[in-house]
Structure 1
Amino acid sequence: MNQFATRMLAIGLAGCACAPALAAEDSPFSANVAVTSDYRFRGVSQSAKDPALQGGVDYAHPSGLYLGAWGSTIDFEGFDDDANLEVDLYGGYKWSGAGVDWDVGLLHYAYPGSDSDNDLPFTEIYFGGTYGPVFAKYYYTNDYTGPTDEAAYYLTAGANFELGGGYSLGISLGQSAGDGVDESFGDSYVDYKLGVSKEFAGFGFNLAYVDTDIDPEIEDDVFNSEGTVVLTVSKVF
């Protein structure tokens, strides 16, 4: 994989770690803040292996409609020195049927101040469902991030299990593919994550191992894809 393909892979993986925060009781509004030791999205570092500050706001209507915004500090030094922030805007609809909690929506990834020649912003539609502890979600874009006009998709599935004592185990597996992905770096790729979560004193703690099958691995700090352990501390308001 050449250097351009490697960098485009990392950019293509850029996106939100957005699971909309749980709303406070009797309020359709919620907010969340977090600090993570390394902002990894779909396996690739967006913060050059450094800590990142993150946060978001959500509105959930009783009908199932929702809107939200989420942001994180990023570091693309050497590829786009002006890209220091990622802002994700999303909206959708949730409902239940046949024992499944369904979710469909639209997600836009923005990079305020980034070099327009890199064409980083892109938009995905998504559709997914959760059945008990198991979930699956499909994301699609008709114009993949970076200098390509081709389509791409991301398919992810996983499960969350209660371990007792307030601990929970989360596992997930994802694949990125499509002409946009192939054109940018030559092949599809897989990422996976295994993590344990627990709440202490009103804060959520998640310790996870994150890795990809990218070959060769990206060993530089910027867009690093080596397997690593990530600690995230979060708070929901």
Structure 2
Amino acid sequence: MKTHNKLSLITALLGLSLASPVCLAEVSANIGVTSNYLWRGVTQSSDGPSISGGLDYSHESGFYAGTWVGSIDWGNGNGVETDWYAGYSGEAGDFGYDVGYIYYAYPEEEYDDSNFGELYFNGSFGDLGFGLAYTANSDADDDAPFGKGDMYYHVSYSFALPEDFSLGLTYGYYSFDIDEAVHGDKDYGHFQLDLSKGDFTFTLSKADEESGDDDTKFVVSWGTSF
């Protein structure tokens, strides 16, 4: 489950610029591989490797749209996640913003009733990042996890280190709009540390036990761009 501003598992592979006196647009492709596909602190690949790739279109006005595909395994067989998204991003002084919609689709029969869509807002001020996502529609029941009404919040901070290394710290919190009498308390927080250099990222991740996946995760990811 990939969001537009969180591309820790993939980077651009191929870029193509289309220019005219009136507008400037760019189409790019991306591909990546990771030892464990994590989304909001929880594995999407049964703690195994995952490959991914996608296409993005961006316009100088700030509008963008794209799609992303990644291999998944929730313990019920190998599958594919396909994300479709569109939004608008820009800057106002030192403040950056990104608003849009993303739809998470799971075509395999084993993943029936898993599709859902989110409205999201992400902001940045210098090295500080923050955002939220709201589940606007879902194939799941409204009172079940990943049903309509769920909220996800996150805050992050990045540091530039010597020798072209960079360090990112993220804390996220998932709040589920569910019937706790039926499903129990599913709300959880998670912490993630990303150490990057060039095309490689080393990730340390830990989620609360309410996530159902609270083992400490050590992940290596690779991507390339040109």
- Fold conserved (TM > 0.5)? yes
Deviation, 1:145, is 6.2
Deviation, 1:147, is 3.5
Higher relative contact order (Cα pairs below 8 Å, separated by 6+ residues): 1
1:50 counterpart SS class? coil
What whole-Å deviation, never above 9, does each CA across 1:90-143 have from its counterpart, x for those lacking one? Answer: 110011114211100000000012346x41000000012111111101100134
Paired position in structure 2 for 1:165: 163
Paired position in structure 2 for 1:49: 47
2:124 pairs with 1:130? yes
Distance 1:188 1:66 in 2: 31
2:105 pairs with 1:110? yes
> Which amino acid is the alignment partner of residue 172 of structure 1?
T
Could you tell me which runs of 5 or more consecutive residues in structure 2 were left unpaired when the two chains were aligned. Answer: 19-25
- Two-structure CA RMSD over aligned residues (Å): 2.3
Paired position in structure 2 for 1:197: 196
Paired position in structure 2 for 1:174: 172
Paired position in structure 1 for 2:225: 236
Distance 1:236 1:189 in 2: 34
Paired position in structure 2 for 1:32: 30
Could you tell me which of 109, 126, 140 is aligned with 2:134? 140
Instruction: Name the CA shift for 1:181/1:212 in 2 (closer, same or farther; >3 Å).
Output: farther
Moved more, 140-149 or 50-59: 140-149
Q: Contact between 2:114 and 2:139, CA under 8 Å: does it hold in 1?
A: yes
Identity %: 30
Deviation, 1:150, is 4.1
Q: TM-score, normalised by structure 1?
A: 0.80
- Which segments of structure 1 move beyond 6 Å, counting only runs of 4 or more? none
Aligned residues, how many? 209
> Which amino acid is the alignment partner of residue 233 of structure 1?
W
Distance 1:173 1:205 in 2: 21
Instruction: Name the CA shift for 1:179/1:213 in 2 (closer, same or farther; >3 Å).
Output: same
Deviation, 1:232, is 0.2
What whole-Å deviation, never above 9, does each CA across 1:153-201 have from its counterpart, x for those lacking one? Answer: 10011011110211000110000104148564523100110011001xx
> Which amino acid is the alignment partner of residue 100 of structure 2?
G
2:186 pairs with 1:187? yes
Q: Contact between 2:174 and 2:189, CA under 8 Å: does it hold in 1?
A: yes
Q: Contact between 1:189 and 1:212, CA under 8 Å: does it hold in 2?
A: yes
2:203 pairs with 1:208? yes
Q: TM-score, normalised by structure 2?
A: 0.83
Paired position in structure 2 for 1:69: 67
Could you tell me which runs of 5 or more consecutive residues in structure 1 were left unpaired when the two chains were aligned. Answer: 1-14, 219-223
